[in-house]
């Protein structure tokens, strides 16, 4: 399916690139950086985001190969425009020191198993729970926002060695998390000639 890009988005990207040089980034990293910066109108994300191109390439292949996409909240799901997602927050309950967001992650993992792409833009406790599950993800987009636990959960994600997109600061949120996933969705799949 070919995505039609609105002229406003074209002009927005032109202005973004006039203010921020992203030409030195490899292709998928550039796509994620630009879409996150675009979604937040925040140029600082270019220096705040942390990711690895090789991991993004594998995640891109998994995503376009049909791997499930799991989100922590419906707001993240609403921002992912071309893919069905799994969100179990409505089924989750808080109990025994486990937040509702963390319980939703457990329920989602029981549903999808290993190999999914996880997109967490709201709850640091959701990201913390995912790190305890041994989920073997294709990618974790860990961009929860907040002053309590967000920085620490993202640092723990980077230390885990899991393939990830994260950032160093307290910034994050549903819009930037879904934007990072959309960058991979919108990026073209290489043709068979390009792969060989």
Q: What is the per-residue pLDDT across 98-109, written as a single tens digit (0 to 9) for each? A: 999 999 999 999
Pick from 125, 151, 140, 145: nearest CA to 180: 140
Contact by Cβ (8 Å): 177, 42: no
Higher pLDDT, 107 or 6: 107
**Cβ contact 34:16 at 8 Å:** yes
Which residues lie below 8 Å from residue 186, measured CB to CB, with a gap of 6+? Answer: 3, 31, 35, 82
Tokens of 59: 């995640």
What is the pLDDT averaged over residues 124-140? 96
Residues taking part in catalysis = 38
CA distances from 129 to 30, 125, 132, 133 (A): 29, 6, 5, 7
84 pLDDT more than 80: yes
Percent pLDDT > 70 in the chain is: 96
- Provide mean pLDDT across the span 1-22: 86
Task: Check whether 191 has a pLDDT greater than 70.
Answer: no
User: Residue 1: its pLDDT value, please?
Assistant: 54
> Whole-angstrom distance between the N-terminal and C-terminal Cα of the chain?
23
Q: Which residues are CB-neighbours of 66 under 8 A, at least 6 positions away?
A: none
Instruction: Indicate whether 133 pLDDT > 60.
Output: yes
Work out the average pLDDT over 165-188: 96
Residues in Cβ contact with 18 at an 8 Å cutoff, skipping those fewer than 6 apart: none
Predicted TM-score of the model (pTM): 0.93
pLDDT of 196 reads 45
Mean pLDDT in residue range 23-35: 97
Q: What is the reported pLDDT for 29? A: 97
**pLDDT attached to residue 2:** 64
């Amino acid at each position: 399916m070919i995505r039609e890009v609105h002229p406003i988005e074209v002009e927005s990207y032109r202005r973004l690139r006039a203010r921020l040089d992203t030409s030195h980034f490899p292709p998928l990293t550039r796509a994620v950086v630009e879409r996150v910066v675009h979604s937040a109108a925040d140029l600082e994300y270019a220096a705040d985001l942390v990711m690895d191109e090789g991991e993004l390439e594998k995640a891109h292949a998994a995503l376009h190969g049909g791997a499930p996409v799991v989100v922590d909240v419906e707001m993240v799901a609403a921002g992912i425009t071309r893919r069905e997602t799994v969100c179990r927050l409505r089924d989750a309950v808080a109990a025994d020191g486990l937040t509702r967001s963390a319980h939703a992650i457990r329920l989602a993992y029981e549903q999808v198993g290993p190999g999914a792409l996880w997109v967490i833009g709201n709850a640091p406790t959701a990201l913390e729970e995912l790190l305890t599950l041994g989920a073997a993800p294709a990618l974790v987009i860990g961009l929860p926002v907040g002053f309590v636990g967000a920085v620490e959960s993202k640092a723990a994600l980077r230390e885990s060695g899991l393939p990830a997109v994260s950032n160093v600061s307290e910034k994050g949120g549903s819009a930037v998390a879904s934007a990072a996933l959309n960058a991979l969705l919108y990026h073209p799949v290489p043709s068979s000639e390009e792969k060989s």
